[in-house]
A and B are shown apart, each in its own frame.
Chain A
Amino acid sequence: MGVLEIKGLYKYYGKKCALKNVNLTGDFGEIVGLFGPNGSGKTTLLKLIVGFLRPSSGSIRVDGKDIDHNTRAIVSFLPDNNLLPSWMTIKDAFNFYKDFFPGFEEKRFKDLIDYFNLSMNRKVKELSKGEQEKVCLSLTISRKAKIYLLDEPLGGIDPASRERILTGILKNYREDSLMIISTHLISDVESIADRVIFISQGEILLNEKTEKIREEKKMSVDELFRKTF
């Protein structure tokens, strides 16, 4: 049984259908790339898994349980917009997470901050957009969780930093967890994903192992994506 099981999931915003009959499973030890154009439903799907939104119908089970405050504790979500208050220092944010999330790994976080060439006493409002994203990513992956959801972790980040972030993610990836990374830039993460999911207009078009795509279609995931959309 997978750590994530989604069956017949629908999400409506008023009359607009944001997700249509989504069926998905995810296992421990997987890194899944969630790809789709803007507005395809990626963020909606992630927010449903965290529990920020409720399904219109269908079911989502995390580690065998329905979504509630218990599953929230084991799902770590990196939203695509930064939510850190500007008055905070990195240390404040760190303390906040440490108090709020049991099992928050201090050493992991401090190592990541070092790795990203940041320091604990920097103020959030003085950080560049890319630096803020690095802080948020560090906070997200230093939580102890069974599912990590990263929504566009590379958005607004320059190519040189991208490599560093990917390495940071890989170094800290835990085998006893599932990681879902959403992006519209496939080429950035296609080599680190086990499996890719293409989503368009709220529907899943493809759910396949990346190596199988290369093996059977003799195509890169990026090429297949361009052909599909």
Chain B
Amino acid sequence: MVDFDERIPIYLQIMDLIKKKIIKGDLKGGDKLSSVRELAVELKVNPNTVQRVYQELEREGIIVIVRGTGAFVVSDEKKLKEIKESLAGERIKNFIKEMKEINLSKEDLDLLLSKYWEEVN
């Protein structure tokens, strides 16, 4: 069961959820997504919200909807990279803002990033 942040539009959160699954490889190109109803029941959200998620994902070129058959993840390496970068982008921007607030320069950050990258790995 997913806990949604009720202050953020739920369709955006479900979009992120699916994008993450694609990046992690849990969903691969050509895979079929759950039906709108199934996913709504699984996530305990309104079916129209899931409907919107699928429409937006199709608009972004991440899935294709085949009428009467279902929604499928596209097989496109370039798209995958795009999703990865856009998911990371927002978080990195916020992170940089916070670091600037405590007066860290780009050089400081580069060093610290390398240091902690090792530590986390």
Contact = CB atoms under 8 A, between A and B. Distances in A.
Contacts, number: 55
Contacts of B41: 167, 170-171
A166 B45 CA distance: 9
Residue from A170, A175, A194 with most neighbouring chain B CB atoms (10 Å): A170
B6 interface: yes
A31 interface: yes
A178 to B, nearest CB: 12
A167 B7 contact: no
A219 interface: yes
Interface of B: 1, 4-11, 37, 40-41, 44-49, 52
Contacts of B47: 170, 173, 175
A194 B46 contact: yes
10 contacts: A30-B48, A163-B44, A171-B41, A175-B47, A211-B10, A214-B7, A215-B9, A218-B8, A220-B6, A222-B6
Interface in A150-205: 163, 166-167, 170-171, 173, 175, 187, 190-194
Interface of A: 29-31, 163, 166-167, 170-171, 173, 175, 187, 190-194, 210-211, 214-215, 218-223
Contacts of B45: 191-192
B107 to A, nearest CB: 35
B36 to A, nearest CB: 10
Contacts of A31: 46, 48
A192 B9 contact: no
A219 B7 contact: yes
A30 B6 CA distance: 19
Contacts of B8: 214, 218
B10 A191 contact: yes
A140 B64 CA distance: 37
B23 to A, nearest CB: 25
Given A194-B46, A211-B11, A214-B10, 20 more contacts: A30-B48, A31-B46, A163-B1, A166-B44, A167-B41, A167-B44, A170-B40, A170-B41, A171-B37, A173-B47, A191-B4, A191-B6, A191-B10, A192-B44, A192-B46, A194-B48, A194-B49, A211-B10, A211-B49, A214-B7
A214 B6 contact: yes
A210 to B, nearest CB: 8
Nearest to B1: A163
B11 to A, nearest CB: 6
Contacts of A222: 6
Contacts of A187: 6
